[in-house]
Amino acid sequence: MSTAEKIHLRIQTYVQKLERFTDRWWYAPFIGLLAALDSIFIVIPNDGILIASSMLFPRRWALYALFVSVGSTAGAVTLGLLVERMGLPWVMEFFPGIEQTTAWMWSETFFVKYGIWIVFAVGASPFLQQPVVILAALAHTPTLEFTIALFVGRFLKFNLMAYLGSHSPKLLKRIWGLKGELKDAGVKID
């Protein structure tokens, strides 16, 4: 078994343990915190956790979506502020090889062309948001403008995902970009 497969299995195990607590008062803020960490470190399948949580406790789908939206936005803003303060050398040390990824190249092209609108679009999509966050910070995009654009995109995305998870999970199989997240979170939709 490869290292990546071991990591995925470990993540699935932790997510399954976590999901036992969907009815607790602290669960929504906790998954919001996980979403914030994911916005910085890129290791937590927060889309899958949100969907699984909404499936397990459908009455709280909107609450889960709100906390994940706020957490994801807070994490991205934190990353942006760190990048602004530390600069490009820190980015290259913290995210080695990021400038060579297709997500970075795509983000760079579209950020130059569309500016803050690409922040909104990436926030609402399953695309990796870190490259756009980093580019926006390096371009000294006003923090309030950046925060609003990203939050609105994230809020729309996570509300749709949580709603579908709680009301119509079979439709989730058709959404591009979710298959890996659902697998990482151990969600099986027949």
Alpha helix stretches (DSSP H) within 57-142: 61-86, 88-94, 102-114, 116-123, 130-138
pLDDT for the residue 98: 78
pLDDT of residue 174: 67
This prediction's pTM? 0.85
The pLDDT value recorded for residue 25 is 93
pLDDT of residue 64: 96
Token pair, residue 129, equals: 């948001």
Amino acid at 42: I
Task: Quickly list DSSP for 124-162.
Answer: TSSS--HHHHHHHHHTT--HHHHHHHHHHHHHHHHHHHH
Give residues with Cβ within 8 angstroms of 126, minimum separation 6. Answer: 47, 157, 175, 176, 177, 178, 181
Q: In this predicted model, which residue has the larger pLDDT, 18 or 149? A: 149
Name the band, by pLDDT with cuts 50, 70 and 90, for residue 22: confident
* Helix 143-167 × helix 116-123 angle, to 10°: 20
| pLDDT tens, residue by residue, 96-134 | 887 788 877 888 888 888 889 999 999 998 888 888 898
Mean pLDDT for the chain?
85
How high is the pLDDT of residue 190? 59
Domain parsing of the chain, residue ranges: 3-184
Q: What is the pLDDT of residues 173-190, one digit of tens each?
A: 666 556 555 665 566 665
Query: DSSP per residue over 168-187, as a string?
Result: -GGGGGGSTT-HHHHHHTT-
pLDDT at 151 over 90: yes
- Per DSSP, the three-state class of 61 is helix
pLDDT of 35 strictly over 90: yes
